[in-house]
Amino acid sequence: MEPQGQHFLVVIYPGQGHINPGRSLAKRLAKVPGARVTFSTAISAHRQLFPSLESPNQEISDGPITYIPYSSDGYDNGIKWFVDDINDITEKFNTFGPATLSSILGDLAARGQPVTCVVYGLHMCWVKELALSRGILSILYWPQPATVLVYPA
């Protein structure tokens, strides 16, 4: 693929250890000549990135990167770890995430800004499936160091 005219959608899990590396990647991709970059994380994390929003799902354009959140309905106000049921969190994340991200892909295409490559973070297999169903190239972004794979002797 030629980099000219690419539209990268970077979809990141809503955890701080995922968001910061994901934003760094988005900034690097934004330096590709002619590329457009959209960064998407859950509404709860989007609110933390932009605390003065009028609406929790408000789209933000920050220079070369556009930020559009997806919904993990039921947890858009955030997750209360060790209080909320992890099975419910996972089920809603895997159900509502794809539905709202699909809507985002459709909206971008309708604006004449179709996504040509989806970069997705760990814990987000549904993003790959969604991209595949739409014929969009997808790439897993692994922000952790290789040392996590070291097996102690």
pLDDT tens digits for range 81-111: 777 787 887 888 888 889 999 999 999 999 9
Q: Does any domain span residue 30?
A: yes
Which residue is listed with tokens 């934003």? 23
Mean pLDDT of 8-35: 92
Residue 123: active-site member: no
Does residue 89 sit within a domain? yes
Residue range(s) defining the domain that contains residue 46: 7-149
- What CATH number should be reported for the domain holding residue 107? 3.40.50.2000
pLDDT digits (tens, 9 = 90+) for 113-125: 999 999 998 888 8
Overall domain count for the chain: 1
**Which of the following is catalytic: 7, 18, 46, 123?**
18
In a domain, 141, yes or no: yes
Segment 148-151 long-range contacts (CB within 8 Å, at least 24 positions apart): none
Any domain includes 1: no
Is residue 153 very low, low, confident or very high in pLDDT (cuts 50, 70, 90)? low
Q: Is residue 2 part of a domain?
A: no
- CB of 97 within 8 A of CB of 126? yes
pTM of the shown model: 0.86
